[in-house]
Amino acid sequence: MSYDDRRLAVLRAIVEDYVATHEPVGSKALVERHQLGVSPATIRNDMAVLEDEGYITQPHTSAGRIPTDKGYRLFVDRLAAVKPMTAAEKRAIQTFLDGAVDVDDVVDRTVRLLAQITRQAAVVQYPSLSRAAVRHVELVPVGGRSALLVLITDTGRVEQRVVEIRSAPDETALVASLTALRLRLNSASVGRRLQVARDGLTALVQQAEPEEQAMTAEVVVALGDCLSAALEERVVIAGTANLVRSGADLASSLGSVLEALEEHVVLLRLVQEMTSEEGTTFPRPDPRPELGTISVRIGAENLHLGLPETSVVTSGYGENEAVARLGILGPTRMDYPTTIAAVRAVSRYVSRILAT
């Protein structure tokens, strides 16, 4: 074992022990718990070097050492593998997610599952609709002069509105007019990106017969609202109680962390930033690297978001390409190999569900 490899092994042992015990780790404990193959004096020297280089620190005089953000980063970057999930854990994930009936249900089940198996706060971004297209528009009379407008995207997102057709002369005429309008709406929007479909709605009103323009305008306004709502970026969270239970790890920042979780704008910014990061693939190589890539942000790397004592682990999910991200947020004292494995496994199952 080379000098650098030995120091990395000492750092790895310190991280593992500190995560497991939440107690500063001394050289004596390393000798007793790990087969490092060197003398206690050598381990002490290696710890001194690691401390000088900023990978570990001594929280109190005469105490052992704990990892710094820089130490956690090196630990994660040098992970050769992650802890594999057991067959029982994989079956539990599959069983829980297979019962989902639509995208909303998939997202809801996923965020609750992640929070449960990682015991952290889970974050799931709704599938990004910047590249989504309209699959179908339905327009159904629901009595009187009202109609139910339903927008379905090719990602499975469903938006609906009840439209009051004030311009309709009577209910019988309304039914016939809605049938014709539905055909025009689908002809003008199906297969088009949501933004393109929304931008083209004005032409539908202009092209309508004079006696149909008022009704067309009323429905077009509602469809525009549906398209705008579908284009909104959204995230859902679960498991904030897990952070409260680990409050000692977050020290004085628990309040600000909980406030940040309530501010979905902060979470969206975090997820969007991590989408553009290179990340790490476990294991390598992955035939769809954008789906197998795990991004990890640690401690001070989240300072600009007001989350300096947290770590975030995310992965992309989607059918053939990553359409959104999911992951967890917790204290930096985290079981990274196990957490990475859980996030990766859940993202893969969600991707399979969206592909069916």
Give backbone dihedrals phi and psi of 62, rounded to 5 degrees, phi first: 70, 5
pLDDT category of residue 286 using cuts at 50, 70 and 90: very low
Q: How far is Cα 247 from Cα 240, in angstroms, rounded to an integer?
A: 11
Quick one: average pLDDT of 123-127? Answer: 88
Contacts of 63 (CB under 8 A, 6+ apart): 24, 26
Structure tokens at 230: 């579908």
pLDDT category of residue 291 using cuts at 50, 70 and 90: very low
**CATH topology classification for 134-231:** Enolase-like; domain 1 (3.30.390)
pLDDT for the residue numbered 146: 86
Quick one: average pLDDT of 240-248? Answer: 79
152-171 confidence digits (pLDDT tens):
888 777 888 998 888 776 77
Structure tokens at 35: 């087969």
Q: Tell me how far the alpha carbon of residue 195 is from its chain's centroid.
A: 23
The letter for the amino acid at 65 is R
Q: With 90 as the cut, is the pLDDT of residue 73 above it?
A: yes
List the Cα angle 324/328/333 in 5-degree steps. Answer: 150
Q: With 50 as the cut, is the pLDDT of residue 192 above it?
A: yes
pLDDT for the residue numbered 6: 87
Q: With 80 as the cut, is the pLDDT of residue 323 above it?
A: no
Q: If you average pLDDT over every residue of the chain, what do you get?
A: 84
Q: With 90 as the cut, is the pLDDT of residue 50 above it?
A: yes
More confident: 67 or 275:
67
Q: How far is Cα 114 from Cα 8, in angstroms, rounded to an integer?
A: 30
Structure tokens at 23: 């107690």
CB 128 within 8 A of CB 337: no
Q: With 70 as the cut, is the pLDDT of residue 281 above it?
A: no
Q: How far is Cα 25 from Cα 149, in angstroms, rounded to an integer?
A: 62
Q: How far is Cα 333 from Cα 350, in angstroms, rounded to an integer?
A: 27
pLDDT for the residue numbered 136: 93
| CATH fold match for the domains 3-77 and 87-128+233-355 | no
End-to-end CA distance of the chain: 48
CB 93 within 8 A of CB 113: yes
CB atoms within 10 A of CB 45: 15
Quick one: average pLDDT of 178-189? Answer: 90
Helix/strand/coil for 31: helix
Q: What percent of the chain has pLDDT over 70?
A: 90
Helices (H), 22-86: 27-33, 40-52, 69-77
Closest C-alpha to 66, from 21, 9, 14? 14
- Most distant CA pair in the chain: distance in Å? 93
pLDDT for the residue numbered 289: 41
More confident: 248 or 145:
145
Q: Which of 2-6, 70-74, 225-229 has the lowest mean pLDDT?
A: 2-6
Domain parsing of the chain, residue ranges: 3-77, 87-128+233-355, 134-231
CB atoms within 10 A of CB 184: 17
Helix/strand/coil for 217: helix
User: Count of alpha carbons within 13 Å of 72, Cβ hemisphere only?
Assistant: 24
pLDDT for the residue numbered 285: 42
pLDDT category of residue 354 using cuts at 50, 70 and 90: confident
Q: With 90 as the cut, is the pLDDT of residue 1 above it?
A: no
* Complete DSSP assignment for 137-185: EEEEEEETTEEEEEEEETTS-EEEEEEE-TT-S-HHHHHHHHHHHHHHH
pLDDT for the residue numbered 19: 93
Range 21-44 burial, b when 16+ CB lie within 10 A, else e: eeebbbbebbbeebebebeeeebb
The letter for the amino acid at 229 is A
**CATH topology classification for 3-77:** Arc Repressor Mutant, subunit A (1.10.10)
pLDDT for the residue numbered 290: 42
pLDDT for the residue numbered 153: 85
CATH number of 87-128+233-355: 3.30.450.40
pLDDT for the residue numbered 24: 92
CB 111 within 8 A of CB 238: yes
Closest C-alpha to 47, from 69, 30, 72, 60? 30
Q: What percent of the chain has pLDDT over 90?
A: 32
pLDDT for the residue numbered 304: 82
250-269 confidence digits (pLDDT tens):
766 778 788 878 877 888 88
6-30 confidence digits (pLDDT tens):
899 999 999 999 999 989 999 888 9
CB 257 within 8 A of CB 240: no
pLDDT for the residue numbered 167: 79
